[in-house]
Structure 1
Amino acid sequence: MQATAYTYDPETRAGSVLLDDGTPLPFDAAAFDAGGLRLLRPGQRVRIEVEGLEGTPEGRRIVLVTLQTF
């Protein structure tokens, strides 16, 4: 799934993304570390992997954040 980086805190390695429909979804340090990134800037397109219920933002959890490559 694709998204846009919205926030990122380099000290905690956590932040949030905006899904293409505008829904914000947070990620934790484990998801950031799983993607092998060292830095993330707001506005960057990212690829995310999500676990949980697809129909509800509350039931979803990001398990991987990495840069979107074409």
Structure 2
Amino acid sequence: MQGTVASFEPDTRSGTVLLDDGTPVAFDGAAFAAGGLRLLRVGQRLRLESDGDGNISMVTLPTM
């Protein structure tokens, strides 16, 4: 799934993404670290991967 960064806290490396239908989805520092990213900005597009429980396990930049 994909969404747009609504908030990002550099200290904790956690944030919130808005899905295309407007649903907010939170991610934690572990999901951010798993994606290998260094920084995010509000409005940036992300690809989200979830585990079997529906928790966000990784955030990455979408590739074309």
Counterpart code for 1:64: M
CA-CA distance at 1:61 after TM superposition: 1.4
> Taking every aligned residue pair, what percent have the same amino acid on both sides?
61
Query: C-alpha separation between the residues in 2 aligned to 1:16 and 1:52?
Result: 20
Question: Where does residue 10 of structure 2 map in the other structure?
Answer: 10
Q: Which of these two proteins has the greater Rg computed from alpha carbons?
A: 1
Give structure 2 stretches of 5+ with no counterpart.
Answer: none
1:41 aligns with 2:35: no
Q: Which amino acid aligns with 2:13?
A: R
**TM-score for both structures, normalised by structure 2:** 0.91
Aligned-residue CA RMSD (Å): 1.2
Match of 2:59 in 1: 65
Secondary structure of the 1:37 match is coil
- Distance in 2 (CA, whole Å) between partners of 1:51 and 1:20 is 20
Normalising by structure 1, we get a TM-score of 0.84
Instruction: State how many pairs are aligned.
Output: 64
CA shift, 1:68, in A, is 1.2
1:24 matched residue in structure 2:
24
Q: Return structure 1 stretches of 4+ with deviation > 3 angstroms.
A: none
How far apart, CA to CA, are the structure 1 residues paired with 2:35 and 2:43?
Answer: 17
